Amino acid sequence: MKLHILGSNSLGNCYVLESDTEALIIEAGVRMANVKKAVRWQLNKVVGAIVTHSHRDHSGHVAEMIASGVLVLALEDVFKTHNIEGKPFTKSIVPNKGYKVGNFRIFTLNVKHDVPCLGFIISHPAMGKLLFITDTITLDVRVPGLNHIMIEANYADDIVEENIGSGAMPEAMRPRLLNSHMEIEQTKAILAENDLSQVDNIILIHLSDGNSNEDRFVREVRELTGKPVYAADAGMTLDLSIQPY
Ligand SMILES: [Zn+2]
Ligand SMILES: [Zn+2]
């Protein structure tokens, strides 16, 4: 199972999980042309797309996806935001439920953003179990048996304070940030609370342009977990195949 990272920040988020026979899109924040290129124009491999929430950087291209015949699973709020509720290829989903798309099994989690937002536990025979968590201040549940983790590491408190001090970031932006995105210490706390014994990859996603430090975040999470850790960058492809133990 390959993970193609097409975008992972406030400009646009999109990831494609691709096995030999099928592909699942996570987030609709980049143009379909980029998705098509990622699967080398084998659009028939795409079994569907899952979208966490209505913000443009995650759902901006959802109408384009359904127009391309891709089944999109998302909260009704996402379809309403783009005036496409009830349209063909839209499927409304809710938190704490299981869905099947091709051979991907998806369980939805409720997370804490400033609009309704989902987290996903995605399972596939070729990949094992992947936790996908973005745009949330925290995660309340522990998830057993994980093989891969994609988790937001948006900002660090000390970098935010530095940026406010220097005038690089308006102080008025602080409350929204603190109530909608994940701080690196929270990312680390969630990782520390979960059983990582079967985890092969930890991928930090949705890093803030100005309020994060990619090298430092990767190093800190690597030191904490002892696992291979990556910071998601557009254009990156990682292997998420299940490793036999
Ligand atoms: Zn976002
Ligand atoms: Zn958001």
**How is the chain split into domains, by residue range?**
2-239
Near ion ligand 1, which residues have CB within 5 Å?
A: 57, 135
Which of 166, 137, 171, 165 minimizes the C-alpha distance to 151? 137
Cα 202 vs. chain centroid, distance in angstroms?
12
Residue by residue, pLDDT tens for the chain (245 residues) are 999 999 999 999 999 999 999 999 999 999 999 999 999 999 999 999 999 999 999 999 999 999 999 999 999 999 999 999 999 999 999 999 999 999 999 999 999 999 999 999 999 999 999 999 999 999 999 999 999 999 999 999 999 999 999 999 999 999 999 999 999 999 999 999 999 999 999 999 999 999 999 999 999 999 999 999 999 999 999 999 997 65
Report how far ligand 1's centroid is from the alpha carbon of 203 (Å): 16
Near ion ligand 2, which residues have CB within 5 Å?
A: 55, 135
Report how far ligand 1's centroid is from the alpha carbon of 204 (Å): 13
Q: What is the pLDDT of residue 243?
A: 76
Report how far ligand 2's centroid is from the alpha carbon of 126 (Å): 30
For the question of whether the overall pTM of this predicted structure is more than 0.95, the answer is yes
**CATH architecture of the domain formed by 2-239:** 4-Layer Sandwich (3.60)
Which of 117, 118, 216, 126 minimizes the C-alpha distance to 162? 216
In angstroms, the CA 207 to CA 183 distance is: 10
Report how far ligand 1's centroid is from the alpha carbon of 217 (Å): 18
Q: What is the pLDDT of residue 244?
A: 67
Report how far ligand 1's centroid is from the alpha carbon of 244 (Å): 34
In angstroms, the CA 111 to CA 100 distance is: 21
Q: What is the pLDDT of residue 245?
A: 58
